[in-house]
Amino acid sequence: MLPELPSERALRAQMVEVGRRLYARGLINGGEGNLSARLGPRRLLCTPAGINKGFLREEQLVVCEMDGAPQSELLRPSSELLLHLACYQERPDCLAVVHAHPAHAVALTLSGETLIACMPEAVTALGEVPTAAYATPGGPAVAEAVRPHLAAHDCVLMERHGALAMGRGANAMFDACDKMEMLEGVARVQLLASLRRAPTPLPANEVRELEGQRIRNLARMSKRVRRPWESE
Instruction: Please state, in angstroms and rounded to a whole number, the distance separating the CA atoms of residues 206 and 44.
Output: 39
CB 45 within 8 A of CB 36: yes
Query: Does position 227 have pLDDT exceeding 80, yes or no?
Result: no
Instruction: Please state, in angstroms and rounded to a whole number, the distance separating the CA atoms of residues 29 and 53.
Output: 8
Mean pLDDT of 205-211: 92
Instruction: Specify the pLDDT at position 60.
Output: 94
Q: For residue 131, how many C-alpha atoms fall within 13 Å in the half-sphere facing its CB?
A: 19
8-231 is classed in which CATH architecture? 3-Layer(aba) Sandwich (3.40)
Instruction: Specify the pLDDT at position 229.
Output: 53
Instruction: Please classify residue 190 by burial: count the beta carbons closer than 10 Å to its beta carbon, then call 0-12 exposed, 13-18 middle and 19+ buried.
Output: buried
Instruction: Specify the pLDDT at position 183.
Output: 97
List pLDDT tens digits, range 49-107.
889 999 999 999 999 998 888 877 667 888 899 999 999 999 999 999 999 999 999 99
List pLDDT tens digits, range 141-173.
999 999 999 999 999 999 999 999 999 988 999
Provide the residue ranges of all domains of the chain, joining segments of one domain with +: 8-231
Q: Which whole-number Å values give the CA distances from 83 to 88, 112, 115, 195, in the listed order?
A: 9, 23, 21, 34
DSSP string, 62-95: EEEETTS-BS-TT--B-TTHHHHHHHHHH-TT--
The pTM of the full predicted model, rounded to 2 decimals, is: 0.91
Mean pLDDT of 204-230: 78
Instruction: Specify the pLDDT at position 33.
Output: 93
